[in-house]
Structure 1
Amino acid sequence: MKDRTASAPQLQRLDGSPVRVLVVDDEANLTELLGMALRYEGWEVRLAATGMEAVRVAREFDPDAVVLDMMLPDFDGLEVLRRMRADNPLVPVLFLTAKDAVEDRVSGLTAGGDDYVTKPFSLEEVVARVRALMRRTTVSMSAADSVLVVGDLTLDEDSHEVTRGGEEIHLTATEFELLRYLMRNPKRVLSKAQILDRVWNYDFGGQANVVELYISYLRKKIDAGREPMIHTMRGAGYVLKPAL
């Protein structure tokens, strides 16, 4: 497989970690080959052989894209799609269909699938299709993109400028790092332990008050006099999302 690093920028999750792809097919040799090709891109990959396993892994793994065979031993790809979308309405899905199964392709796209490839296919084609799907979502972005945007809140990672509704907001270095982590994970609940690990670089251990203190600082600067964007999820952590 040829090197694509020079022609295609590395895709990452908004928090800087590798993108995640779930491959679902009951042909073990095929899933292993697809997994190898996708890992070659630097992505994290999980494999599943049945519909039930796919739904369970998707809930645990939180994939950024799914490669999904239409025909599985327990139930079909349309049912897998329906159950996955109940948990994650935005996850893009690439269907794998039989060469002559026109009805499968139409059904898959009608049900909400984003694209399809027919068997037999080249590994390069599947990788290219998955890459294209993720580029059309807000889950992943190019590492070169330095401006984070959530609702009317923007943060420039290079200049350290922060604005909300066009109004400049001045933050300390720690407040900036905390906000950057929240904005790289919009609409995701982040625990105090996760925040301590990413922002302060030490393990959770009686330091929850530090997170609470800096969240309160941020709220005074980001949310004061405006619709709140930073929300406390009792017993779970904090989440940043666009104001209603």
Structure 2
Amino acid sequence: MSRILIAEDEPRIAAFLQKGLKSHGFTTTVADDGVKAAYMARSDDFELLILDLGLPEKHGTQVIEELRGRGEYLPIIILTVIPDIQDKVKILEAGADDYLTKPFSLEELIARIRVQLRHQRSPRIVETTVLQAGDLVLDLRQRSVNFQGKSIELSTREFTLLEMLARQPGQVWTREDILDQVWGYDYDPNSNIVDVYVGYLRKKLGRGLINTVRGMGYRLQV
């Protein structure tokens, strides 16, 4: 039975979530502020975190950054009122895996939870903590990158994208593949977010490392 941590300070919403998730076979625990949420997510055995951004004591974005900074890769689904695309980009860049805007349907939330749990349980365990592809070296534990002997600073999303490409050098990945594995939720297929992040990586690593395969997608060339 999956254990889910609910970080929500509104008792009515927290109770609704607990009742709804229990009816679908999940076990839940509620944290009503950001400090408790960050502590419990680090110290207990949860499989997923449902996180409201507007928490007292510590904002939800700070909770995400703290967990990711400590190497915690617990799936995180955000529940919040997000007014514009820039705010959505910020929470995804911070390391959230998915989001739903309030008001939301329980059915959609359950579906998104199951998607994240499938990703978590899929056979993606890494046998080594270091990936090397030519002059590119990724330390998966430290989340650090070295290219041609130089340390390269990457954001969480940039690192995840580069890690995906580096696992299978030469493999062509479609934009849909990348959206599914890096962003982990149903993103607008017409969005140019993948191209934008490939552009970010090329600025930091040079244009020759990641090739565009016309009409198909991208691959790491070593």
Distance 1:44 1:88, change over 3 A: farther
Structure 1: where are the runs of 5+ without partners?
1-17, 142-148, 152-244
1:32 and 1:72 map into 2 onto residues whose CA distance is 16
Offset of residue 62 of structure 1: 2.2
Distance 1:88 1:44, change over 3 A: farther
2:68 and 2:86 map into 1 onto residues whose CA distance is 21
Residue 31 of structure 1: which of 14, 36, 59 is its match? 14
Aligned to 2:52: 69
Aligned length in residues: 127
2:103 and 2:24 map into 1 onto residues whose CA distance is 21
Q: One-letter code of the match for 2:48?
A: A
Structure 2: where are the runs of 5+ without partners?
128-222
Aligned to 1:133: 116
Aligned to 1:89: 72
1:112 and 1:101 map into 2 onto residues whose CA distance is 18
Structure 2 length normalisation: TM-score? 0.52
Aligned to 1:7: none
Could you give the per-residue CA deviations for residues 130-175 of structure 1, whole angstroms, max 9, x where no partner exists?
111111113x79xxxxxxx885xxxxxxxxxxxxxxxxxxxxxxxx
> Structure 2 matches for 1:139-150, cutoff 5 A?
none
Distance 1:20 1:32, change over 3 A: same
CA contact (8 A) 1:24 1:68 kept: yes
Matched, 1:113 2:96: yes
Residue 57 of structure 1: which of 17, 33, 40 is its match? 40
Identity %: 36
Offset of residue 85 of structure 1: 2.7
CA contact (8 A) 1:97 1:104 kept: no
Q: One-letter code of the match for 1:74?
A: E
Matched, 1:102 2:102: no
CA contact (8 A) 1:95 1:117 kept: yes
